[in-house]
Chains A and B, each alone.
Chain A
Amino acid sequence: MSPATLAPREAKQYKPEIPPDWCPGCGDFGVLTVLQRAVAELGIPNEELMIVSGIGCSSNLPGFFKSYGMHSLHGRSLPVATGAKMANHEMTVIACGGDGDGYGIGQGHFIHSMRRNVNMTYIVMDNEIYGLTTGQTSPTSEPGMKTKSTPFGNPEGQLNPMALALAAGCGFVARGFSGDINHLKSLYTQAIQYPGFALIDVFSPCVTFNKQNTFGWFKERVYKLEEAGHDASDWNAGMSRAKEWGAKIPIGLIYKNPNPKPSIDAEDPALQGKGLAKNQKLGLTNEQRKKLIEEYI
């Protein structure tokens, strides 16, 4: 189903009775609210949406969203979501989680999912810290940052997920900020409509454990690529923006492949009709079985 053809809905239709239990002021509230607005704008029916998360504060998101969901294992949202998409490619699949989940323990799946190019959206709530385990260094923590596991300062380098995504062949690479929700909503709708793997890294500050990369810290630094004359169809220009970190940090669409290659689910011969999961007539036909047996005689 193409989300573009559906009538818009109201965001409250995606709000369940369970309220989020994140810390007051957590960046993830913005990520959730904006996602509800974005899918409402696209008019995606609740039952046509599968949200898959890993483990961590941000991975609680599917529980606060009225849709089908899987709150899977730490670092494994992408393979689980990929399996879901293959089993029912007619559904809109969104994977989400934190920076530790996606760029730490789930790093291998992150790279290969982009290379694999499944038609799904991946939202990383990036707070540069491990929150649910009460504040340890993450792959996106800045060098020198003091955390509970690096009391003398983070001795390791900082991962650049945007540059990595570009290098891994991701066709849609964007960065958002939970403190700028209208801008973020536009990234979500574009990502969901993109016919391939779309990554949005969202700065989603941890108000409890990251005293360094706060809302204020990001507000001072972020600037919108849409207002900076950036050509998002130019991979090299995207790479050069992706490298920016420090006094100025770009948010917005870093790269969108102007000629997206077909996603694997679009090309897989097994996924051309209705979703595999809807097939209730299982097993080989007599003809198929006889043909296979011929191979062994």
Chain B
Amino acid sequence: MANEIIVGIGGAAGDGGASTGDNLSQSCARSGLNVYNYTSYQSLIRGGHSWIRLRISDAKVTNIGDQVSAMIALNQDSMDRHLPELKAGGICVYNGDKVKPGKAPEGVQLCPLPVFELAGKDALPIMQNTVALGALTRLIGLDFSALSSVFEHTFKKKPQVVEANITAAKAGFDFADKQYKPHATVLKKGGPKLAMVHGNNILAMGAANAGCTVYCAYPMSPATGILHWMASHGRDLGICVRQVEDEIGVANMTIGAGQMGVRAMCATSGGGFALMTEAIGMAGIMEIPVVMINVMRGGPSTGLPTKQEQGDLNQAIGASQGDFPRIIIAPLSIADCYTTMEESFNLADKYQCPVLVLSDLLMSEGHGTVEPAFLDRAFKIDRGEMIFEDNGKGESYYRYKNTPSGISPRVIPGTPNHLYVSATDEHDEDGVTISDVYTDPVIRKMMVDKRSRKMENVTKDFAPLKIEGDANADTVLVTYGSTWGVTSEAVERLNKEGIKVGHLSIKYLIPFQEKEVVALLKNKKKIIVVEMNKAGQFARHLRAETGITAHANIRKYDGEPFEPKHVVASVKEVLQGKDLIEVLSTESGWRTPHPPGPGVLSTGSVH
């Protein structure tokens, strides 16, 4: 059994909860403990409510977990919302000078802190966070030295700030030590230091490590973190970073750069991706390598800018008119975002086509621990059939040569004696457009076939699939992308309870590993797709690619992520005969009071 605690930090946007969460995460990571950190927040800059949930464990954590047991309430609202959901044995730390306690659930200890007395009357309001963090550190059993070293690291250029924070945190730590009982579980020290990374940061750093030197973007949540990373690091790393007027410009600029021979990337969310779609077809017909990330959020339209969903699969599959090769990859976890960048750039270069990466808010804005050694690796760089110099032989060169593999060796513009024009119009092997001629069915068919032939062998470059959990079980859960984490934990728990289940997690959506999937699923009695959208986009994709119809579906589209308990309970319901479970998060902390009126019709399963 893992030694773990789930901490919640609640406050209004602007209360500094995020940095308190970051400090706690860092302090755990420095103590060698694993962390998964997810913030549920509103699309506003000041006020409202923001809930930072950190799952801390001595074992690897892949999701936000089930129930919070330790919390810091930075304001009254947080106290009111979240106190009722705390687990027995838990603690609630708050500023006793400002926040009134609520009625604690049985076994939950209220830990008010006399912040004025501990931090001093002249202290900045933000110091209440530091005092509370010091107290929490003590009560969950973390070493103070880890926390103080985080302050030293974060404010290394401002020694007086380091000192003020350490003093305030120590006051909270010592007060809690004298006044309160520790949390029912206390964390044991972990192994060597871990790195604490956001999915977005790791996508950006992964791109840099893969040799991306042009990055274009228009700000859009939840993809903006990638732009911020690129903007702040590009200068040191030799990456040209441009904020463009709109996503149409972003996609076209990225593709223009890709054509010249650089590794180019852009990122956005669903709405921006919609604007990029015409350009994706351009990369397809011009055969330009480019990596485009869509960090999915709740749709449609503006939808839920700060909430989780996996609803853009249909859009990615259907992006742009006509038939052309594309590769669609959905990383499985924060760490996998890094590896996905290595693969994406290599695949884009090798097959000279757009690679679309489907991340989502949970993975991109969530952050978690990875081993530093995992990040410290030079990526394999395979540029495919690329030509940088004239060989001087004076041979004629056809940019779109009809080869057996469909891949035409690509000369970068600027090279003497290889001039060509790439067109979005259909063209012949030399790039000359055939759109202006009367008709040319032979060349048209040849070029469409040439391009589509490129996709025939792509799946050989993908990691083979396997069923995790109980591979022989009759029941198998099938997921795509980030739902891997929560589902794998649910599968582990179900197997421990004696309910035999396997888990097939799909990362590569286009082209689809059809034969492998069919082989793994054909004898299963109960295929259950778990995904985060209403329509069952992935279940439909699975059916379209393999002819396999899931026997049951577990879906969530209320904006908040799946928790392992949701999946566990839903699987049990399925095994009792249900074929569709639509999960709703119902704990007090996830609720918003509704005004009297028609009320909210209860739909779906309540877990």
Contact = CB atoms under 8 A, between A and B. Distances in A.
Contacts of A87: 213-214, 240, 256-262, 264
B214 A86 contact: yes
Contacts of B433: 60, 63, 71
Interface in B239-256: 239-242, 244-246, 248-250, 252-256
A115 to B, nearest CB: 9
Contacts, number: 214
Interface in B266-305: 278-279, 282, 286
B197 A72 contact: no
B358 interface: no
Nearest to A62: B421
B46 interface: no
A290 to B, nearest CB: 7
A276 interface: yes
For B234, B235, B262, B413, which residue has the most chain A Cβ atoms within 10 angstroms?
Answer: B413
Interface in A155-199: none
Nearest to B242: A86
Interface in A55-87: 55, 60, 62-63, 65-73, 76, 78-84, 86-87
A277 interface: yes
Contact of B238 (A73, A86, A270): A270
7 contacts: A65-B421, A68-B419, A72-B282, A84-B259, A87-B260, A277-B414, A293-B372
Contact of A83 (B233, B239, B254, B376): B254
A67 B415 CA distance: 11
9 tightest Cβ-Cβ pairs between the two chains A and B: A282-B211, A83-B256, A69-B421, A87-B260, A277-B261, A80-B256, A83-B257, A79-B252, A71-B423
B240 A80 contact: no
Given A18-B432, A290-B376, A277 B262 contact: yes
A109 B242 CA distance: 14
Interface of B: prevailing SS: mixed
Interface stretch (B59-67, B68-76, B202-210, B467-475): B202-210
B55 interface: no
Contacts of B259: 70, 80, 83-84, 87
A36 to B, nearest CB: 14
Interface in B411-438: 412-425, 432-433, 436
B139 interface: no
B432 A79 contact: no
Interface stretch (A46-54, A135-143, A220-228, A232-240): A46-54
B353 interface: no
Contact of B414 (A66, A79, A91): A91
Contact of B252 (A73, A288, A292): A73
B252 A297 contact: no
Contact of B415 (A47, A63, A76, A282): A47
A201 B194 CA distance: 59
Interface in B193-238: 193-197, 201, 205, 208-211, 213-214, 216, 233-238
B436 A83 contact: no
Contact of A284 (B237, B421, B422): B237
B239 A270 contact: yes
A73 B280 CA distance: 11
A70 B421 contact: yes
Interface residues of A, number: 60
B214 A72 contact: no
A275 interface: yes
B210 A282 contact: yes
Contacts of A288: 208, 236-237
Contacts of B213: 87, 270, 276, 279, 282
A290 B413 CA distance: 34
Given A72-B256, A282-B263, A297-B29, A79 B248 contact: yes
B388 interface: yes
A133 interface: no
Interface of B: 29-30, 193-197, 201, 205, 208-211, 213-214, 216, 233-242, 244-246, 248-250, 252-264, 278-279, 282, 286, 372, 375-376, 378-379, 381, 383, 388, 412-425, 432-433, 436
A243 interface: no
A66 B417 CA distance: 11
A21 interface: yes
B179 to A, nearest CB: 33
A280 B383 CA distance: 9
A84 B237 CA distance: 20
A219 interface: no
Contacts of A86: 214, 240, 242, 253, 257
Contact of A84 (B208, B260, B416): B260
A278 B195 contact: no
B412 A277 contact: yes
Contacts of B278: 73
Contacts of A51: 421
For B193, B238, B253, B381, which residue has the most chain A Cβ atoms within 10 angstroms?
Answer: B253
A48 B416 CA distance: 8
Contacts of B413: 47, 50, 68, 84, 88, 91, 277
A145 B378 CA distance: 63
Contacts of B244: 79, 112
A45 interface: yes
Contacts of B210: 282-283
Given A270-B235, A277-B413, 13 more contacts: A47-B416, A68-B414, A70-B421, A72-B282, A78-B249, A80-B259, A83-B254, A91-B413, A283-B381, A284-B208, A289-B376, A289-B378, A296-B196
Contacts of B253: 79-80, 82-83, 86
